[in-house]
Amino acid sequence: MKLRSTTPISDSLASRAALVAVAVLVAGSGVFALGSHVFARDYEAEIKAKEQEASKYNSEASRLGEMADSLQSELDKINGQITTIQGQIVDSQKKIDNLNAQIKRNEILIKQRRKAMGQVLADMHVDDQISPLEMLASSNSIGDYIDKQEQRSSLRTSLNGKIKEIKALQKKLEENKKLVENTLRDQESQRNVLSSKQSEKAKLVADTKNDQNAYSALAQKRNSEVAKLREEQAAANRRALGNGVSIPGGIPGGGGYPGVWANAPLDAYVDPWGLYTRECVSYVAWKIHSTGRYVPHFGGAGNANQWPSTAARHGISSGSTPKAGAAAVMNIGYYGHVMYVESVNGDGTITVSDYNFAWDGLYRNYTRSASGLTYIYF
């Protein structure tokens, strides 16, 4: 049974070694009469519509996923900028702390120098209350008197110079502190702007991912509905066989079908006759070819229900009489289904083998009614 067309669109595709399976449309029917092919339910249309919806939802989920990735990259960039600016803020704060410490030390030095200056001035004031003669008399010599006067004057000058130097340094430190504080304010402002952008971008990422998940969930729901319809379709097809026919479970790689195809995913390759592997058509084409008979290249017209007309173009006849070794076409669904006739039984039944009857790419061998089929005599 077919999930989608069993043949590539053109002959040129037949040379490709591998093809990835694409979105599929399940062929099938509800309760129907094999002879007239009347379908009570159009599974094909339902499945196609749901698969189209699933494809649309998946496309939207993919688009949103790409958008979320792009937004996440932008968010990562903002996070990196915030980390960088935060590091700069820490450095600036350390500079301010160091400058404050230096300023405090200089304030202490200024106080100490002023205290020392005050003591010198106090001593000089006391000395000023003493007459020069008294000072001279208290000195060991005139030279000693002169040295004392010069020492006091030099000390006062030195203290004044030190205070001026410290004040100049203090002024420079205050200026540097102001510059660093301005830099810090700018950095904090940048961080606040970036934090606002970070929040907005993070919300966009979260919202976009939520939308992506919602569309993915819708696609998954539609795919589940498709799977359920396929199961219903398979059951309807089994019922359509009638006469209490029991379709066995599939066997992986059964029927002697080449292992390179049988063990690969469904539709992974295109066989020498232009048909997708593990499909019913590929198996029957291989089965007929393995008996030494000619099988044409179907070239885009290899769906099961196209086999009678394609065979006719190659001079291969068809009819309603079952024969062992013939291809038996069941004209159901959009693509139909083809089986290989293993034997014709005396009770109006035939034993057939096929692949992918239940859309699983597996081999089956069973007995069913011989009526309602078109037989192609390769």
- Nearest residue to 211 via CA among 63, 72, 52: 63
Q: How far apart are CA 356 and CA 220, in angstroms?
A: 23
Note the pLDDT tens digit of each residue in 232-274.
Answer: 877 776 666 554 556 677 888 899 999 999 999 988 999 999 9
Domain 11-44+244-376, CATH number (from 3.90.1720.10, 3.90.209.20, 3.90.320.10, 1.10.600.10): 3.90.1720.10
Q: Which helix (H) or strand (E) holds 368?
A: strand 363-369
Domain with CATH 3.90.1720.10 in the chain: 11-44+244-376
Using an 8 Å Cβ cutoff, are 191 and 85 in contact? yes
> Number of C-alpha atoms within 13 angstroms, CB side, residue 50?
20
Tell me the pLDDT of the chain averaged across its residues. 79
Q: Is 68 exposed, middle or buried (0-12, 13-18, 19+ CB in 10 A)?
A: buried
Full-model pTM: 0.49
299-315: average pLDDT: 91
For residue 7, give Cα distances in angstroms to 266, 300, 340: 13, 5, 18
Given a contact cutoff of 8 angstroms between Cβ atoms, the answer to whether 112 and 162 are in contact is no
Structure-block tokens of residue 315: 């001079």
Q: What is 213-254 written as a DSSP string?
A: HHHHHHHHHHHHHHHHHHHHHHHHHHHHH-TT--PPPPBTT-
Higher per-residue confidence, 55 vs 131: 55
Whether 19 shows a pLDDT value over 60: the answer reads no
Exposed e or buried b per residue across 10-27, where buried means at least 16 C-beta atoms within 10 angstroms of its C-beta = eeeebeeeeeeeeebbbb
Identify the pLDDT of residue 243: 47
Rounded mean pLDDT, 162-173: 76
Q: DSSP assignment of 43-55, as one string?
A: HHHHHHHHHHHHH
91-122 pLDDT, tens digit per residue, is 888 887 888 888 788 778 777 766 766 666 55
Match 């007459």 to its residue by tokens: 131
3-state secondary structure of 339: strand
Chain region(s) in the chain for CATH 1.10.287 = 68-220
Instruction: Give the pLDDT confidence score for residue 335 in this predicted structure.
Output: 82
For the cut 80, the answer to whether the pLDDT of residue 31 exceeds it is no
Q: What is the pLDDT of residue 27?
A: 32
Q: Tell me if the domain spanning 68-220 has CATH number 1.10.287.
A: yes
* Tens-place pLDDT, residues 173-211: 788 778 878 888 888 888 899 899 899 989 999 999 999
